[in-house]
A and B are shown apart, each in its own frame.
Chain A
Amino acid sequence: MTEKIMIAGSGGQGVLMLGLFLARVAAMEKKNATWLPAYGAEKRGGFSHCSVIISDEEIFSPMVENPDTLIVFDQRAYDSYKSRVKENTLVIQNSTLVKDDEALPGKKVKLPALEMANRLDLAKVMNVIMAGAYVAAKKVINAENAVEELKSSLGRKESGVIKKNIDAFKAGMEYAGKK
């Protein structure tokens, strides 16, 4: 099993953290994982992007060129990477900020992650909602482990924030599970 994930959006949306989260859960599950951010000047404000690979085998280049899964947070990210989408690519798109595009191949999960986050009264959990959708749509990493990682990464945050994050993750899972 080798799963190549490309995650793209804008600075502040939690793109890099989402990638890190998925890689950490994979590490917890004793899988091999890589996480490669776009770094430096790019990371300030503008475009944000990272590659994650999860595998049972040795991982070669950490750069993802042809993703098995593309997770896009906004229209600019979508436009930049839609050419990478093939018939069997899973696309998880934040439909609040990405216009629907019937012409694109691939299996799609469209979820209004920003709206859902606002409903939870915490815009910052948008990436956690996207994570939940990914875990449900592609069973590469285990949902319970993901919740565990979520808890441990939020460690010292107040309990209300932790609960909102877990709710967000579950909301994402449910939404993707229904589709």
Chain B
Amino acid sequence: MSGKMLMKGNIAIAEGAIDAGCRFYAGYPITPQNEIPEYMSKRMPEAGGVFMQAESELISINLVFGASVAGARSMTTSSSPGMSLMQEGISYMAGCELPGVIVNVMRGGPGLGNIAPSQSDYFQAVKPGHGDFRMITLAPSNIQEMYDFTFEAFDLADKYRNPVMILTDGLLGQMMETIELSRGRKPLNPRPASEWALTGAKGREPRKILSLLMKPGALEQHNYDLWKKYDEIKKSELRYEFNEKEKDYDCLIVAFGSVARTSKGVIAEGKDIKAALFRPVTLWPFPYAELREAAKKAKKVFVFEMNMGQMVEDVRLAVQDDSKVEFYGRPGGGLPSQEELLSFLRKKVK
């Protein structure tokens, strides 16, 4: 398959994983991500990998934990309520320094919420689980990126031996869009699993994988080591989209994921307003310094989200001038339209 093709976001995630060499997938049904386990149940065995339908999201993430212990590139996907159940396992993976890719196709909350698109798990992604850990979080904005970012997430996970999250939503999961698959692109496998995975102590000393460190000072040191790694990630893996050509702006719009694409439409449509888009692509690490620089030229910084204000907290930390920051968001599956965002922008600019 090459050339332009129409693909559903959820399927693009599955294809990106398969192409990246993911050979273990576990998932539990929850809308709006069901296409992924359905598709994987057929595609994964074809690719010579293991598909397992877990009996809960707790089991999903711990199956991924086990597959990762055994050295397989592994993934699970879910949506918001399921992601809450996975927090324990994600923390263990971070503590044990196990790679793995976790996809959250967000829906409305809290509680059972609804099945409409939402961005209400931003906090949970960038401030995950229990314990002092971080997780690289990539936020795709179109179906091409659903494929590309999932592909790249496996290399990032292996490179840093850390869980990586794809944070997307029901809109991107359910919509179809033309994309080009880069079949033949080779995953880098930057840190082969053979160096650390448990495969049996043949011709080497036994290995152990653990996150319990009871000796005085041992856990503190482990955390310092993790933070050294996180600092490296901050330096090397930061991603954002900011059109440098658009120097001439007095409004800066900050949005991620599906709201970022709507924001591009707002800028294209609102020719009367000089606006530019700053889109964080990695939500952790967050591009604080780059956003601060971009915000200097702006009279106003607008933050658009599908929640009641989560990323805006990081934007405020970056901008360091609360009087500049304006927020517009809709919770519970409300989809801000291009018109709606543009009229908010016009009202605030005037």
Cα distance A170–B284 in the bound complex, in angstroms? 53
Q: Tell me if A31 is interfacial: C-beta within 8 Å of chain B.
A: yes
A47 to chain B minimum Cβ distance, whole angstroms, is 15
On whether the beta carbons of B115 and A41 are closer than 8 Å, the reply is: yes
On whether the beta carbons of A60 and B177 are closer than 8 Å, the reply is: no
Contact with A along B326-346 (1 / 0, CB 8 A): 000000000101110000000
Contact with B along A145-179 (1 / 0, CB 8 A): 00000000000000000000000000000000000
Interface of B is mostly: mixed
- Chain B binder among A32-40, A91-99, A136-144: A32-40
- Closest A residue to B31 by beta carbon equals A40
Cα distance A72–B342 in the bound complex, in angstroms? 28
- Closest B residue to A52 by beta carbon equals B176
Q: Tell me if A122 is interfacial: C-beta within 8 Å of chain B.
A: no
Contact with B along A37-61 (1 / 0, CB 8 A): 1011100000000000000001111
Q: Tell me if A26 is interfacial: C-beta within 8 Å of chain B.
A: yes
Cα distance A27–B144 in the bound complex, in angstroms? 14
Q: Tell me if A100 is interfacial: C-beta within 8 Å of chain B.
A: no
The 8 Å CB contact of B176, one of A23, A30, A41, is: A23
The 8 Å CB contact of B338, one of A24, A28, A41, A60, is: A60
- Closest B residue to A41 by beta carbon equals B115
The count of A-to-B residue pairs whose CB atoms sit within 8 angstroms is 72
On whether the beta carbons of A61 and B176 are closer than 8 Å, the reply is: no
**Set of chain B residues within 8 Å of A63, measured between Cβ atoms:** 262, 335, 337-338
Contact with A along B171-209 (1 / 0, CB 8 A): 100111110000000000000000000000000000000
Cα distance A36–B262 in the bound complex, in angstroms? 14
On whether the beta carbons of A39 and B178 are closer than 8 Å, the reply is: no
The 8 Å CB contact of A60, one of B5, B116, B261, B335, is: B261
On whether the beta carbons of A27 and B32 are closer than 8 Å, the reply is: no
CB-based closest 5 A-B pairs: A60-B265, A61-B262, A35-B176, A40-B115, A27-B6
6 new A-B pairs (CB below 8 Å) besides A37-B175, A63-B337?
Answer: A27-B178, A34-B175, A34-B176, A35-B176, A36-B174, A61-B261
B: residues with CB less than 8 A from A are 4-6, 31-32, 115-116, 170-171, 174-178, 258, 261-262, 264-265, 268, 335, 337-339
